[in-house]
Amino acid sequence: MTSAEELCREVLKRITPTEEERKHVLGLAEDLMARLRAILAEEGLEAEVRLEGSLAKDTWLSGEADVDIFVRFRPEVPRKFFKTRFLELARQAAEGYEQVERYAEHPYLECLANGVRVNIVPCYAVAPGEWLSATDRTPYHTDYVRSRLDERLKGEVRLMKKFMKGIGAYGAELRVGGFSGYLCELLVLYYGGFLGALKGALRWRKGTVIDPAGYYEGREEEARELFRHHLIVVDPVDAARNAAASVRLDKMAAFVAAAREFLARPSEVFFFPSGPGPTGAEELAAQIRARGTSLLAVHVRVSGLVPDVLWGQLYRSLRGLRGMLRGEGFTVLRASAWSDERENCVLLFELESLRLPPVMKHVGPPIWVEEHSERFLAKHTVNPDLICGPYVEGDRWVVLVKRKWPDAVGLLKARLADRGGRNAGVAPLLADQVEARGFRVIEGEGIAGLCRELEGFGEWLADFLAGRPRWLARRA
Condensed to tens digits (0 to 9), the pLDDT of residues 406-445 reads 999 999 999 999 999 999 999 999 999 999 999 999 999 9
Nearest-angstrom CA–CA distance, 413 and 421: 9
Contact of 252 with 230, CB cutoff 8 Å? yes
The residue type found at 100 is: V
Q: Can you give the pLDDT at residue 194?
A: 98
CA dist 305 and 442 (Å) reads 24
Q: What is the pLDDT of residue 278?
A: 79
Q: Residues 272-288: what's their mean pLDDT?
A: 90
Model confidence at 163: pLDDT above 70:
yes
3-state SS of 387-443 is EEEEEEECCEEEEEEECCCCEHHHHHHHHHHCHHHHHHCCCHHHHHHHHHHCEEEEE
The DSSP bridge pattern shows strands 47-52 and 66-73 to be antiparallel
User: How confident is the model at residue 372, as a pLDDT?
Assistant: 96
In this predicted structure, the answer to whether residue 476 has a pLDDT above a threshold of 70 is no
DSSP helix/strand/coil, 107: strand
Contacts for 403 with CB less than 8 Å, ≥ 6 apart: 329, 356, 357, 358, 359, 360
Q: Would you list the DSSP string of 182-223?
A: HHHHHHHHHHTSHHHHHHHHTT--TTEEE-TT-TTTT-HHHH
Residues 179 and 251: beta-carbon distance below 8 Å: yes
Residues 6+ apart with CB under 8 A from 254: 167, 168, 169, 469
Q: What is the pLDDT of residue 87?
A: 86
Count CB-CB contacts under 10 A for residue 30.
12
Whether pLDDT at 465 is above 80: yes
Q: Is the pLDDT of residue 193 over 80?
A: yes
What pLDDT digit, counting tens, does each position of 81-103 carry? 888 888 889 989 888 888 776 76
Q: Which of 94, 98, 25 is nearest to 65 (CA)?
A: 25
Q: Which of 233, 226, 235, 238 is nearest to 126 (CA)?
A: 238
Q: What does the buried/exposed string (b/e) look like for 52-72 if buried means 16 or more CB atoms within 10 Å of the residue's CB?
A: bbbbbbbbbbeeebbbbbbbb
Average pLDDT for 159-186: 97
Task: Look up residue 322 and give its DSSP letter.
Answer: H
**Whole-model pTM?**
0.92
Backbone angle region of 425, left / alpha / beta, with phi > 0 → left and psi within -120 to 50 → alpha: left
User: Measuring CA to CA, which residue among 10, 4, 6, 11 is closest to residue 162?
Assistant: 11
Report pLDDT digits (tens) over 389-410.
999 999 999 999 999 999 999 9
pLDDT at residue 398, as a whole number: 97
Cα distance between residue 465 and residue 350, in whole Å: 10
Domains of the chain: 16-135 (3.30.460.10), 151-270 (1.10.1410.30), 281-355+406-475 (3.30.70.590), 359-402 (3.30.70)
Which residues, in sequence order, are bridge partners of residue 359?
A: 402
CA dist 58 and 16 (Å) reads 10
Q: Does the structure show a pLDDT above 70 at 189?
A: yes
Query: Does residue 105 carry a pLDDT above 70?
Result: no
111 contacts: CB under 8 Å, gap ≥ 6: 94, 97, 98, 99, 100, 117, 118, 120
